[in-house]
Structure 1
Amino acid sequence: MTRPDCSVLVISRGCAERLRRAVESVLGQSLRNLEVIVVDPAGDARATVAELAEEDPRVRHHRPPGDGDPRAQRDDGLDVARAPYVMFLESGDELSPHACKSLLLEIERTGADFVTGAVRRVAEGERRGPLWHPRLFTPQRVVADVRDEPEALFDCLATNKIYSRDFLERSRMRFRDGARHEDPLWAIQAYCLARRYGVVPWVVYHRRVSREGGPGSGGRDHLSGLERRIAAARLADGFLAASGRAGLRAAADFRFLRQDLRPYLGDLPGRPAEWVLGLARVAVPYLDRIRPAAIARLPRMERVCVRLLRSHRLEEAVEAARCFDGELPPRHVSYAGGRPYWGGEPGDPELDLTELGLLDRPFAQAPLRHDCEVLGLGGTTLALRVRTYDPARVLPAGPVTAELRVAARPGDPLRHRFELEPAGEGRFTARVEVDLGLVPYGGRGPDRTDEPRIVIARGGRENAAPLRPALPARLTAEVGGPGRRRTVRVIAGSTLKVGWRRAGLARMPEAAAGRARRAGAAISLHVPDRLVYALAARLPMRRDLAVFDAAGRYDGDPRAIYEEARRHGLPLKAVWVHDGSARGFPGDAEVVRRRSRRHLVAMARARYWVADHGLPPLFAKRRGNRYLRTGYGQDLEPALLEPRAGEKPAARWDALLAPSAGLERAFAPLHEHTGEILRTGSPRNDELVRWDEPGRQETAAAALRALEIPAGRRVLLYAPAGRDDARGRRARPDLDLDRLAAALGGEWIVVLRPHPSGRHAIPPRLRGFVRDGMGLRLNDLILASDALLTDRSPLTRDYAVTGRPILLHAAGRERRPDDGDLVPGPVLETADEVVAALGDLDRVRAEYAERYAAFQRAWCERETGYAAKAVVDAFFADVPRRG
């Protein structure tokens, strides 16, 4: 019989379907010379294994003798395995199709004792899931000693690895010598005893997890799973001490706190008092042995929770667990020496909350918390008891005016004003009664659910936060009159929600249509967009009509051109296109929703189109129509400027804006544009070129006020464009903002402005150092900033017209040897390099002065500050001027 290259040991857990799924994932491997050993201590998988073996003779059934000790099942499989390399597979889990072959090739190539690969966690019933600790498995490498990278202990599975049989026999590793929760102990032993081990970044193992808890945990309803984890951790501590690797104890302790204990701590808010008491009884004796260095590495609120648990302040420990995600601030905070502490007795360093940044946040992000108790729903009147907590002491000591805002349709909330009365230091209370029947409701469209918010205003700025119910509740009422009836539901969960469900007219379409016909109302019929456009194009063209489209915003080159046309007094009827909100558009123009009938008719009848992006093929040009294509994605990599396959957008362009010779050479040939080219610079950059004019200075000051930037702080505009991943999603910013905050927090403020498709949530702990710039115009942010940090976003060229420092962040990408003649500043890979550059910007300016000038010559030489006037004069030359 041919000896297999790899033996895969599968433990039967009594479920035939899960066992079959696991075994079939092995039989489907690209490595064909392998065997599957199903270890079946109870003997109840014999029939399933027999069916599998009949289908494929590589499957073997093994029922070990004895009492079926669960710690010995894998050992029993090892005793009968015939291959020089072995893997373990849990019933229900699956191997990736090339897992065995790729791991076998790697362990043979490197001579490692074992090789570990990435894991994907997949919930039961799902097909995909997130990667498990992905940073542990990158980059691909061989490691001689785990002490060089102790974080590897977080890879606590036995199943995502291939092992050399020689290694297992040499090290005498056995599961029966361990605990019930065997994998972490086994993994620690393997990492410590291996002479070298390999790591690969590709996914080799798909680990099925229940929605309630991890496999083998017994669920978290019972604490026996935690008891097994603690028993295994104690054995691991003993092994580290006996093997001379006690230096890894802090790393092992940290792994226990984050992997084993953390899920139980997160459960505290939803558990009964007896469960909380049981958790303390099980966990505290072992927590008292944990190295302080491990506890010090925990996130602050987990550290607080552990401290409270060890001090048997169990109700406070439950409350601390509610704050783990950082969005919910603590209720009770006291101060000593200007530092905030949990509870009413300041001074304990374990309860120091300074790193949460409670005191540094702008008012709009201040950590206000509004707990509520739902008192009842009488008719349509909702009664609430609100308790507001102000741990940062941003509210005045007296009564505070607040608004409860509830909306049944976007942008049109009911605003109910009330007074918050003082109830102690940093605490307020109020009884609120709001009539939900008064909430504006359109009566059409889908059912809606809203999360009411309490809004407090100060100095022209608003702080809005949701209500947090103390107890769950569900209440229902009917609102509205005959034919307009709807059901309103009040749901008290993690936050308070109010939902509206259509009734009456909305639920009786036939009767409603009949009433509408009898009333003479128009009945809306669906007509395809192409037909609407074609019919409107038969109407006479309006020679004074211009449609402006800046990707749904009032911004960019179209805005600058529009405002210049207004200054010229051109008699144009202007139509602006929005993508959902008409807020912020000029009052002297018509504003239409994209793809609405008004939009289609305007496009069909307009003489002029001005757009900063390619218009869809739906909009066929009429004779006499003129289309100006303005700004576009000005990335430094020309490949990103290419049109989509099969598209010829330039065939409709009458004029193309080319702000620089470099962009003209890169863009026009790609689109085969042979028409007029306006070599004027970018109209949107006029205000940036003339940044030192008084009006621009006031614009910058207004932006600083809106962002609540303290006086004396410098502003770093961080504008990551990101890169699309393999699935087409925009990557999140990967700069270590915590590192920047620690090094630069006293001097700089970061304004984060990512690509619109990759919006990045700012962690609460960083909201004193990082501001969200998505609500302001990009040009206003540029004018307010002192330097730019980006990863080669299209913004680089626009920013260069100001002459201010530009830093490029290139994490995860290799430096290119020709970067020097393409970029206007240093290419930085780590947060420490960014810190060093910002700490000496004068040096950066001097060192990169020639490259910056060369960059400006290549991309900004046509920027004069008067591009909008030149464009208006050229494109609207046939429009009569007034006066």
Structure 2
Amino acid sequence: MPRFSVIVPAYKVQAYLGECLTSVLEQSYADLEVIAVDDHSPDACGAIIDELAARDPRVRPLHLPENVGLGRARNAGLELASGDYLLFLDGDDTLTPGALQGIADRLAATADPDVLVFDYARTYWTGRTARNQLAGLLAEDGPAPFRLDDRPALLSLLMVVWNKAYRRDFVERRGFTFPPGYYEDTPWTFPVLLSADTVATLDRVCVHYRQRRQGSILGSTSRKHFDVFDQYDRVFAYLDAHPELAPWRRVLFERMVDHLATVFVRRGRLPRGSHAEFLRQARAHYRRHRVPGARTRPRHLLVRLGAHRAYRLLSLASRCARGAGRRVRAARHALAAAALRLHYRVQLRLPLRADRAVFTRDAGGAYGSDPAALEAAFRALAPQIRTAWIARPEHHATLPAATRALRPGSAAYWTALARSTYLVHNADFDERMVKRPGQIVIQTGRGTPLKRLGLDLRDRPAVSRGTDFERMLRAADTWDYVLSANRHSTLVWERAFPAGYTTLEYGLPRDDVLLTATSADVARQRRSLGVPDGAVAILYAPTYRDYCHGQRRALDLERFLDRLGPHFVLLTRAHPSYGEPLIRTDGERMTDGERLIDVSDHPSVEQLCLAADVLITDYSALMFDYAHLDRPIVVYADDEEVYEATRGTCLDLRETPPGAIARDEDELIDIFETGHWCGSRSAHLRSRFRERFCPHDDGRAAERIVRRVLHGPNAWQPALVPLADRRPAPSDLAGRTDAPFPAVPRAGGPVPLVERL
């Protein structure tokens, strides 16, 4: 019995069917069967199904003797299904990479609910992709599973069958089947959601819903759109047969009226001359199923009165009122924008200020990372240059007292961009900025690249869709200098962003603190985070997943800590793009605040590195920064195939890993339980990794960069400290013999515990 039965009906979709079925068969989660139903399609759909079935035994072909329509074709597939869960996929749609693994993980985490609702994105024939606008309703916060009563807003989602996984025994017990005709999803989806005892959500795009230029059912003109009336009669008949569901009648009535109005007003659905007949039937349905207390909108009046002209007049009046308000607001904004543009043009005609430097990070983010380290170096080495930092108001408190705060879009902001000689960022400035002769732009980047970036993403449409590569390269043309930590970074930047800049391969300023901090700094940072004395602090910092909209929790944090024992503390840092922590508290399992500490909001990841004794990460550039400390690193890459297929990497970590690599949670736990994370093999791998990626960082990278920028290529530079002679900030546990940490044994001194083991 497979975990999933994926039912794919096919009729006149020969151009898309191969891609659809392949998207299922190539999933990383392979415990599945595909029931491909040829609905007597006159094209090559049947042959495509047979060809795939001959190559993959998981494909179960079913050829119907006559065309029965989408609903009945699905029913035929249902009769053959043997999986624990049922999924439906239309023959012109596709599953996203890793979708089934994500669904399986969420099912396991929510005790196998009757129904799991996941997300989708529309993919247009033009290449544009748009995620479901109501994706917020699929948030995984709060208890799960739940009943629909707890989250009734789920009924606002598009009522389709293919954005859900259904437990097969639940479907069979309830006797759910699809009716004939158009809009067959309606009398399936509403009853299924209303009847489910347990429901869960998955905040992840699992289906790409193809918006075909021609040939889709909803884009066709046909009297079959009148089938919508029979479908809602079936919905309300189900309510009549289940009196316990009566409280839902008003909600379904309102959904019906909205749906009928949508079918009517969408151009191209109803044949010419049939609109009046459709309105008469809609009015009859309104009266037949009306519920007292239901909301009344202009659309509802259209259906209730059957008055098309009155509806048009009401809609026109409403649009005019809204439009007048928008025009007033737009005029106000346009006037302010015009004044700022004029101000900027005036400033561009004034002389540059050689004593001005402007810095920013993440297009207005908090003070930190490489731009902040360079800003501090400018103030220390060139006090005659006045510095300013562009930040949104909520980040102004993070700035040093000596640094001027600039709000993005303000007049002072445009003045600084127009007249400052030095401009430093890790993400481009406003695209309307004009780089003047004499201005010097420094692109710091975001660390040593591991993920693909720039032009290397051209063959990764799931990530780069919508990216304007020409605009990206025009921005690169404004860069004078790009910072690099090593030869690998230099080569990647020059390939991914080909332009005329000069690469400063001097190391990264943000890492200076890792080489200059003292043991007192480390101890102070650990105390501020609440790390108990003598504990081994693990920093867990996974990176962003382009293929996953919500936070991906690949590690059971509590189980991981329980297995490691009381001497370990876990510092969890979520990627800033998600805006939420990795730690979650629910009614069943409460996190241990002393051993499981969320540090997602900490302003400095460098300070977190100082506090940690070991790093666990996946594809984050943080591993290259942390390597400067010469402390253990463990790579947890449980989705390597999916990540490589979507975003991809520009470096094969398997060739030069920074330490042990785990591919699932049990393997990660084993690495720590056996001591491999800090053993001699780990130290050897880390040494090779540091030789390749840490050649320049000796604590004075920011100084070298500032001297080079201000005084040219012949400027005096401090001598580079060889890698073997560097003394990075020591771990709090270094030298201890009673802790599971690989302290370096000194001549005549005690042998560390790990080496004894």
The two structures have a TM-score, normalised by structure 1, of 0.44
Check conservation: 1:715, 1:784, Cα contact below 8 A. Answer: yes
User: Would you say 1:613 and 2:464 are equivalent positions?
Assistant: no
Counterpart residue number, 2:570? 750
Counterpart residue number, 1:372? none
Counterpart residue number, 1:97? 90
Counterpart residue number, 1:629? 443
Counterpart residue number, 1:580? 393
Check conservation: 2:537, 2:611, Cα contact below 8 A. Answer: yes
User: Would you say 1:809 and 2:631 are equivalent positions?
Assistant: no
Deviations 1:639-675 (A, max 9, x none): 4674851122221111121111110011123212333
Check conservation: 2:659, 2:677, Cα contact below 8 A. Answer: no
Check conservation: 2:483, 2:505, Cα contact below 8 A. Answer: yes
Query: Relative to 1, partners in 2 of residues 1:847 and 1:573: Cα closer, same or farther, differing over 3 Å?
Result: same
Check conservation: 1:157, 1:183, Cα contact below 8 A. Answer: no
User: Would you say 1:670 and 2:483 are equivalent positions?
Assistant: no
Deviations 1:822-844 (A, max 9, x none): 32122212222222222344664
Alpha-carbon shift at residue 722 of structure 1 (Å): 3.1
Match for 2:417 among 599, 603, 625?
A: 603
- Alignment: residue pair count: 450
Check conservation: 1:7, 1:85, Cα contact below 8 A. Answer: no
User: Would you say 1:126 and 2:157 are equivalent positions?
Assistant: yes
Matches of 1:128 and 1:780, distance apart in 2: 48
Higher relative contact order (CA 8 A, sep 6+): 2
Check conservation: 2:389, 2:403, Cα contact below 8 A. Answer: yes
Match for 2:359 among 537, 548, 552?
A: 548
User: Would you say 1:866 and 2:703 are equivalent positions?
Assistant: no
Alpha-carbon shift at residue 31 of structure 1 (Å): 4.0
Q: Which runs of 5+ in 2 are unaligned?
A: 1-6, 11-35, 42-65, 96-112, 119-152, 179-191, 198-205, 210-230, 249-324, 329-333, 458-466, 645-650, 717-757
Match of 1:710, SS state, is: coil
More helix by share: 2
Match of 2:405, SS state, is: strand
Counterpart residue number, 2:624? 797
Counterpart AA for 1:553 = A
After TM superposition, the structure 1 = structure 2 runs for residues 3-152 of structure 1, keeping only pairs within 5 Å, are: 31-33=38-40, 58=68, 86=79, 96-98=89-91, 120=117, 123-127=154-158
Counterpart residue number, 2:484? 658
Matches of 2:537 and 2:75, distance apart in 1: 65
Counterpart residue number, 1:714? 536
Counterpart residue number, 2:129? none
Check conservation: 1:820, 1:851, Cα contact below 8 A. Answer: no
Query: Relative to 1, partners in 2 of residues 1:544 and 1:117: Cα closer, same or farther, differing over 3 Å?
Result: same
Counterpart residue number, 1:679? 505
Q: Which runs of 5+ in 1 are unaligned?
A: 9-28, 35-55, 62-76, 103-115, 138-151, 163-179, 186-200, 224-506, 511-522
Query: Relative to 1, partners in 2 of residues 1:811 and 1:530: Cα closer, same or farther, differing over 3 Å?
Result: farther
Alpha-carbon shift at residue 532 of structure 1 (Å): 3.9
Alpha-carbon shift at residue 725 of structure 1 (Å): 1.4
Alpha-carbon shift at residue 866 of structure 1 (Å): 0.7
Deviations 1:423-450 (A, max 9, x none): xxxxxxxxxxxxxxxxxxxxxxxxxxxx
Match of 2:495, SS state, is: coil
Matches of 1:797 and 1:101, distance apart in 2: 36
Matches of 1:575 and 1:846, distance apart in 2: 47
Match for 2:691 among 857, 867, 875?
A: 857
User: Would you say 1:565 and 2:378 are equivalent positions?
Assistant: yes
Match for 1:775 among 601, 621, 634?
A: 601
Alpha-carbon shift at residue 202 of structure 1 (Å): 7.3
Query: Relative to 1, partners in 2 of residues 1:155 and 1:700: Cα closer, same or farther, differing over 3 Å?
Result: farther
Instruction: From the CA coordinates, give the structure whose radius of gyration is larger.
Output: 1
Match of 2:615, SS state, is: strand
Check conservation: 1:119, 1:131, Cα contact below 8 A. Answer: no
Match for 1:830 among 664, 677, 683?
A: 664
Deviations 1:744-799 (A, max 9, x none): 35122211112111244422312523222123210110000011111111111111
Counterpart residue number, 1:847? 681
Alpha-carbon shift at residue 590 of structure 1 (Å): 1.1
The two structures have a TM-score, normalised by structure 2, of 0.51
Matches of 1:599 and 1:573, distance apart in 2: 15
Match of 1:820, SS state, is: coil
Query: Relative to 1, partners in 2 of residues 1:59 and 1:574: Cα closer, same or farther, differing over 3 Å?
Result: closer
Check conservation: 1:634, 1:641, Cα contact below 8 A. Answer: no
Query: Relative to 1, partners in 2 of residues 1:705 and 1:87: Cα closer, same or farther, differing over 3 Å?
Result: same
Matches of 1:181 and 1:851, distance apart in 2: 52
Query: In percent, how many aligned pairs have the same letter?
Result: 22
Matches of 1:580 and 1:858, distance apart in 2: 40
Counterpart AA for 1:796 = M
After TM superposition, the structure 1 = structure 2 runs for residues 295-374 of structure 1, keeping only pairs within 5 Å, are: none
Alpha-carbon shift at residue 219 of structure 1 (Å): 4.8
Matches of 1:683 and 1:214, distance apart in 2: 66
Counterpart AA for 1:739 = R
Matches of 1:859 and 1:216, distance apart in 2: 69
User: Would you say 1:537 and 2:362 are equivalent positions?
Assistant: no
Counterpart AA for 2:539 = L
Alpha-carbon shift at residue 131 of structure 1 (Å): 8.8
Query: Relative to 1, partners in 2 of residues 1:128 and 1:795: Cα closer, same or farther, differing over 3 Å?
Result: farther
Matches of 2:8 and 2:579, distance apart in 1: 46
Deviations 1:17-58 (A, max 9, x none): xxxxxxxxxxxx984339xxxxxxxxxxxxxxxxxxxxx994
Query: Relative to 1, partners in 2 of residues 1:621 and 1:612: Cα closer, same or farther, differing over 3 Å?
Result: same
Counterpart residue number, 1:399? none
